[in-house]
Copies of this chain bind each other. A is one copy, B any other.
Amino acid sequence: MRVTIKDVAQAANVSVSTVSRVLSNKENFFASKTADHVRKVAADLGYQRNAYAADLASHQSDVLAVVISATKSNFADEIIAGIHDVATKHGNSVMILYAGENNPTLQDKAIKTVIERDVMGVLIVALELGDESLNSLKTSGIPHIFLSTAAKENLGPFIASDDHAIGYEATKYLIEHGHRKIGLVGMDEQSFVGAQRMNGYREAMAKHSLSIDEDWLVPGYFTFEDGEAAMQHFGKQPAVTAIIANSDLTAIGVIDQARDYGLEVPAQLSVMSIDGTKLTRIFRPTITSVTQDFFQIGRAGCAALLTGDNEPIQSKFLPIKVVERNSTRQL
């Protein structure tokens, strides 16, 4: 049997309540002499508090849940690192739950788990939650925030990059570097993110009076393979001079396939990625990207959940920037 607060109380010759208050540092409730004694006894006995019992009694947990898609992209690590960065400072525990890839069953399971555990907050990362899961979460009253998924309509508060701006800026960059025929690879029109980015692309093209051949738009879903497949679609003599890929991995797929076709990047084809994770720096050529600050997204999201006040959480976009590397060139 584990040693409980009762054992400590007995051994220290004080009441259970005193032990509880000492151990959870409720100031002004005990003499410092007693406190020292209690702490010593607890340590000697190897007391470990039972978080379940504590949470049950106090109705508040100190754990933050991160619900995340088992994403084939790779920025999640940075977001999680950001979350941990601030959670650790606040003394909160973080528990991560995978919700699969557009898998409603797994999503429900994950959401159910966090609700059952009555966590103090939920961070939903790179996931477009199904209606059912979303409803459970809403009615549970647990504070939550979407990270890296600007919410369609009033899904809830989010912290993300502006996907419309991402599409726009990438396109603008390429146009300003002389490109007129620009491909778009890996966007999923069904998803909010994909649609937004595509809108940004269209707007930038329109603004510069450039027309779009719908054949330049190759849908997909963030993966390396999507990039490869898209490049196969374009073929050995692509109709475009530049391609915007929906993730760093997708860009790599495009570049690899281009190389297999004997096409030089960027000499014969410029490729630009969205995300700007470390991959863009270790791959050769290094990849020009619209870079998102995932670490800060994680930090900001976590901080938003931890500000004790009861204000509704403010959604916001964090700045993005185009980082020029070696996979694009001036035409």
Contact = CB atoms under 8 A, between A and B. Distances in A.
Contact of A282 (B51, B139, B140, B249): B249
B224 A282 contact: yes
A97 B96 CA distance: 7
Nearest to A278: B224
Interface stretch (A11-19, A114-122, A196-204, A205-213): A114-122
Interface size class of A (residues with CB under 8 A): 35 or more
Nearest to A286: B256
Given A50-B118, A52-B52, A140-B48, A282 B252 contact: yes
Copies of this chain, complex-wide, total 2
A84 to B, nearest CB: 5
Contact of A256 (B49, B51, B81, B282): B282
A51 B117 contact: yes
Given A81-B70, A97-B94, A282-B252, A115 B48 contact: yes
A25 interface: no
A88 B106 contact: yes
Nearest to A84: B98
27 contacts: A46-B139, A48-B112, A48-B115, A48-B140, A49-B116, A50-B56, A50-B116, A50-B118, A51-B117, A52-B56, A52-B117, A52-B118, A56-B56, A70-B81, A81-B98, A88-B109, A93-B97, A93-B113, A94-B97, A94-B98, A95-B95, A95-B96, A95-B97, A224-B278, A249-B282, A253-B282, A259-B284
